Structure 1
Amino acid sequence: MRLNNLDLNLLVALDHLIATKSISQTAERMNLSQSAMSNALGRLRQYFDDPLLVRVGQKMELTVRAEILRPEIADVLTRIEAALAKKPDFNPKQASREFRLLVSDYSLHTIIPPVLELTAPFGDHIRFHFLRQTDRPNVYLERGEADLLLAPRIVCSPEHPSIKLFDDDYCCVAWRRGKYGREPLTRKAFAAAGHVRYLASPTGGALDSVLLDQLGITRRTEISTFAFSSVPHLVVGTDRIAVVHRRTAQLWARHLSISVLELPFPMERFEQQMQWHHYRSRDPGIIWIRDIFKQAAAKMQKK
């Protein structure tokens, strides 16, 4: 297909080039040779009358024109993909589809297991690719690289539809035989204790850090970890405590020697949302998997 003498396949190449800033990586993604990709870049440069990618030191960087094109190209390709994905219906017993989901470790521990249980009867017709959340997960939706985002409400973009799946609150966990594992937790003890803290990314903490900052409450952090599921293991055998989601604390308490303690101050509950690109609102497959998640959330609430 051509538009103003531009082969639309070149837009796919440009989208990948913008994402990777690398001719070799884009060639690998598109199963092309580097010479073919270099040729495609040359044609794009000629069409847009701009170099698009320029070498700066040892790296390739985007030109101003490429930065301006970035969201527009992603938007066009997402629209095309959504239009092509539309079918009269979606039969999970016959259709073969992989759903790409942006999820946190928290979601993997809570709602994903019941989702997998509900989709198990469909065998390999239904597959999942779980993507690690980033500081800007909405970008993956915008670029069409993810079908759904599972995240707290404050993380979701106002540009796309979303619904509440369930809510949760926070509590503390402590080693059952440790200093804080046998008595109710006081505010003084919370301030005095060493804390294990989960960092959602190298540059920032998780939602609990945001909420505690809003309350003006500080923690004496002794251990920071990038792995959400490691938090209870880093508490066991010590006198440290950790602020965690209640649902995961209750799951961990079944298998580890930890006590689940109430926070000594009120802390805002959070809503776990499901979000999708508005161009995919009528995609039968997306409609089906959204319903599966709503069933899984209802199943969680009954436990």
Structure 2
Amino acid sequence: MRFEHLDLNLLVALDVLLDECNITRAAERLNMTQSATSGVLRRLRLFFEDDLLVQVGRKMQPTPYALQLQKPVREVMLKIRSNIINKRTFDPATAVRHFRIASADFIITVLLQDVLREIQSEAPGLTFEIMTPFLLTVERGEVDFVLVPQRYTVEGHPSELLFEEEHVCVVCANNPLVGDTISFEQYIEMGHVSVGFGSRQLSIEDWFMKQYDVKRRIEVISNDFNTLPQLVLGTNRIATMHKRLAEYYAQYLPIRILPTPVELPVMREHIQWHRALENDPLHSWVRHKIQSAAARL
């Protein structure tokens, strides 16, 4: 189909090409051969009178004009999906759709596992893919939902508070260095298990160190929160982690939960989605399931 001399099918390919900046990966997502995908790129270049993607070393990079096109093209694709393709009314029992959710692993444990179990019984045709936060974004339309602390939400897209979370300290049950409480001095002197995500720091320790101008001895760094209680077992180390997650693992592991030696700020977990999906009925249904489960925490 053509609109103002543009084959609208090319917009789908343009969206994927600008997202991947790689002919091979774009071809896989479009279910096309590499030669056919290269042919589509040539047609797009002719229409827009711009190279769109140029080879720089071993990589392809978008031109300045392509970067201008990327956001409006993505929003057009999202609006077509949410307002035209998806039915305005639906039956959860027969609905079929794949959702992508970006979430920290601790939210999977304390919230999403219950949500997905409930949805499976009511809407068995829905499938889910849970991604690492910050690798994919709401703003680019790469995920349906992002579940992150409030400070990581982005402007221009709707978001709502899911729940508030406190932090506690966790040690092995037979750790001889501490009793039922821990002093500030003990906390600083002990070896710590912490969480790091490359250049991102989701754990509370980053704030803690800046606030009190202290340096702890971090002995183990993990890239997920669920391993923190496991990594203190059989050691004299300590971990600072989410209270709900610590209480969950205390049911299964020989750990002790202690109050933090200083008052840490409450973390506010939000759910956010692209504004183009605001009135999508199936998207709203899943969103309300997540929100309802969070209200029961």
* TM-score using structure 1 length: 0.91
Aligned to 2:244: 247
Selected match of 2:200 from 199, 204, 226: 204
Alignment of 1:1-303 (within 5 A): 1-122=1-122, 124-134=124-134, 137=136, 140-199=137-196, 201-216=197-212, 217-300=214-297
Provide, for residues 118-142 of structure 1, a one-character-per-residue CA deviation record: whole Å limited to 9, x for no partner.
223225223222122126x5xx323
Q: Which amino acid aligns with 1:250?
A: E
- Larger mean CA deviation between 285-294 and 31-40 belongs to 285-294
Aligned with 2:17: secondary structure?
helix
Q: Kindly tell me: are residues 120 and 44 of structure 1, through their superposed partners in 2, closer, same or farther at Cα, counting changes over 3 Å?
A: closer
Structure 1: how far apart are the matches of 2:238 and 2:189? Answer: 10
Quick one: structure 1 residues 195 and 95, their matched pair in 2 at CA, closer, same or farther if it must change by over 3 Å?
same
8 A contact 2:103–2:133 mirrored in 1: yes
Identity of aligned residues (%): 33
**Partners of 1:180 and 1:76 in 2: CA distance:** 59
The answer (yes or no) to whether the contact 1:169–1:268 under 8 Å persists in 2 is yes
Cα drift, residue 182 of structure 1: 2.8
Measure, in 2, the Cα distance between the counterparts of 1:121 and 1:33. 38
Distance 1:117 1:181 in 2: 39
Count, aligned residues: 296
RMSD: 1.8
Given that residues 86 and 280 in structure 2 are in contact (C-alpha distance below 8 angstroms), is that contact kept between their aligned partners in structure 1? yes
Shift of 1:283: 0.9
Q: After TM superposition, give the deviation of residue 181 of structure 1 in Å.
A: 4.8
**Counterpart-to-counterpart distance in 1, 2:203 and 2:223:** 14
Separation in 2 of the partners of 1:181 and 1:213? Answer: 21
Cα separation, partners in 2 of 1:233 and 1:185, compared to 1, 3 Å: same
- Tell me the CA shift for residue 5 of structure 1: 1.2
**CA displacement 1:187-237 (0-9 Å, x = unmatched):** 0001101111111x2123214134324523542211111132221111111
Deviations 1:58-91 (A, max 9, x none): 2222222222222222122222222124433222
Q: How big is the shift at 1:180? A: 3.7
| SS across alignment from 2:226 | helix
Unaligned runs of 5+ in 1: none
